[in-house]
Structure formats: structure tokens, C-alpha cells
Amino acid sequence: MTSVLRLDGVDRSFGDRQVLRDVTFDVHGGRMTGFVGGNGAGKTTTMRIILGVLAPDRGEVSWQGAPLTRDGRHRFGYLPEERGLYPKMTAREQVTYLGRLHGLDAATARRNTDELLARVGLDARGDDLLETLSLGNQQRAQVAAALVHEPEVLVLDEPFSGLDPTAVDTLVSVLRERAAAGVPVLFSSHQLDVVERLCDDLVIIADGAIRAAGSREELRAAYGQPRYTLVVDSDAGWLRDQPGVTLVDLDGPRAVFDLDADADDQQVLRAALARGPVRAFHPVTPTIAEIFREVTQ
């Protein structure tokens, strides 16, 4: 059996406005998939369709090779964009209640709740009413609620928003553990530095269409323009006149430059060596932020 959550040709309109077009990508078991796109790109709509909160106009969502059913989705964990906890319940009551609603027996629901609240750093506040918690702590409770029933698949809409750096680190390690146990984890985020740290695979959406999808390594190889760093002993301004070279940054003997696809990096290196010692010459790996900019511009 393949642990793949698959979206295939999903379209969705609101009125006469099409907000998703032919959205197709896979989320693999055991991998963290970052879902990134600008405001209004279609991430939340896509996640709602995965969870069956919205229906697609066309296309299909499947899990392990079969179309998703209501029962199948019951075993998913979802952190919705609109955080909907009951303000008059305590965090512990709320998370336990949601565990029971997802079919856990009372003892397991309580045990999982206690473990998760401790894990997300909410143990001491677990018996406070949710409305008295800070927004960040409510967010921690919401994360615990999404995980309490040991979901087969995790779909998390902006799980890191509003969390302080310590809570981000905690959540990163909790999600990594779930992924390591074989769970596919799809999470959206505007924090590209977190995505850089966390994701194995990346899906980039713009204007309702998938612009790029694949492993980080694949996308880095496919989209990052070849960029190099050169450090020599004297001014490297001569690079300006080197065929195929576009200078990105020059600081005396240190230069960053792009190279045309048909240009030879070794020729640039030889040109540098002909002028004196070369202290560093290496390709620069593009960051996710750079890939994002390139595929969405």
C-alpha cells in the first residue's frame, strides 16, 4: 500500500472567480511537505478540499490509492485556519473531548491529551479556561487538538503563526516525530525560514495554480539559477567583462555572480587563477525563499 495523499486535477470557483486550477500534487508518507504561496493563492481552499470541508468542482483527492471518504477523513488531523476552540472549556477538557469525538476511548483520550499538553509546553496551563490563555498558548492547544487522535495524515494550515521561537522549535520536533512514524504531513506557512528548516518536499502555489512541486533537492536543481561565490586576493571587478557572467554582488575581492546556463564555470575559475590566488570558488545553493521568488514572479 502506498502512503500517498494525492490531489488530482482539482478546480474550484467561488461564483465566477476560479481560485484553484488543475491543482495536482502528492504528499508522501514519512515526509514533511511545505505548502507555500502568497496571500490568496489558494492554500486554505486546497486544505479545506482535502478535509472535505469544501467540495471540488472537478478533480479528486485520494489516500492510499482510493478516493477519500468521510470515514477516511475522520482519521486525518486538521489544523484549520479559523481556530475554533470552545472558550469556556479548559485546554485539557477540549483536547480530550476532541479525542473522544474521533473515537478514542476515555483512557486513551486522557493519556494522549496529557502527553501532548506536556509536549507542547501547556501542562501548567492545561486546566485554565481557553479564553484566558494567550493567543500563542491557544495555538498550542489547537495543535494538540489536531494530533490527539493519532491521525494517519496531518494537514496543518499555518501551524507556526503566532508561536514564539521556543514553541516553533517544539512543534517542529513534534511534527518531525509524526513524519518519522510514517505520517504524511502537509503544512502551509508564510515563514519561509521555518519551511527551509522543516520541509522535505515543497509545493508552491500562485493564483490557484501549482507552480512547482517536488523534493527540495529537485527544486533546487531545477529552479535555482546557477550562482557562484568567488573570493580572490584583489578586486574581482574584472568578472563584469567575463562572458556569461552577471555580477550579483561585489565587495572588493569577494563576488557573487550568476552564470548563463551554457557558460563554463571552470573557464571563470581559470580566468580567476590567471589573475592570482583563488581563496574560494563554489556554487551557492538557492534558498527556498529564492526558489519561491523565481517560480512565482
Interface with ligand ATP (CB under 6 A) = 14, 19, 37, 39-45
Residue 41 Cβ vs ligand ATP, minimum distance, rounded to whole Å: 4
Residue 59 Cβ vs ligand ATP, minimum distance, rounded to whole Å: 15
CB atoms within 10 A of CB 193: 12
Helix, strand, coil shares of the chain, percent, nearest 5, are 40, 30, 30
Residue 20 Cβ vs ligand ATP, minimum distance, rounded to whole Å: 8
Residue 43 Cβ vs ligand ATP, minimum distance, rounded to whole Å: 4
Residue 83 Cβ vs ligand ATP, minimum distance, rounded to whole Å: 13
Judged by CB, which is closer to ligand ATP: 112, or 189?
189
What cell was used for 248?
Answer: 550579483
Judged by CB, which is closer to ligand ATP: 68, or 204?
204
Q: Which own/partner contact pairs does 116-120 have at CB distance under 8 Å and 24+ positions apart?
A: 116/144, 116/147, 116/148, 117/91, 117/92, 117/141, 117/144, 119/144, 119/170, 119/174, 120/144, 120/167, 120/170, 120/171, 120/174
Residue 80 Cβ vs ligand ATP, minimum distance, rounded to whole Å: 11
Strand order in the sheet with 66-67: 17-28, 4-14, 58-63, 66-67
Judged by CB, which is closer to ligand ATP: 149, or 211?
211
Judged by CB, which is closer to ligand ATP: 43, or 149?
43
Judged by CB, which is closer to ligand ATP: 17, or 70?
17
The count of C-alpha atoms lying within 13 angstroms of the C-alpha of 130, restricted to the half-sphere facing its C-beta, is: 20
H or E element in which residue 125 lies: none
Judged by CB, which is closer to ligand ATP: 14, or 86?
14
- The residues, ordered by sequence, that sit 6+ positions from 285 with a Cβ below 8 Å of its Cβ are 220, 224
Cα distances from 76 to residues 47, 48, 115, in angstroms, run 12, 12, 19
Residue 297 Cβ vs ligand ATP, minimum distance, rounded to whole Å: 17
**Rounded Cα distance, 295 and 297, in Å:** 6
**Rounded Cα distance, 114 and 162, in Å:** 23
The residue written with cell numbers 522549535 in the block is 169
Judged by CB, which is closer to ligand ATP: 12, or 31?
12
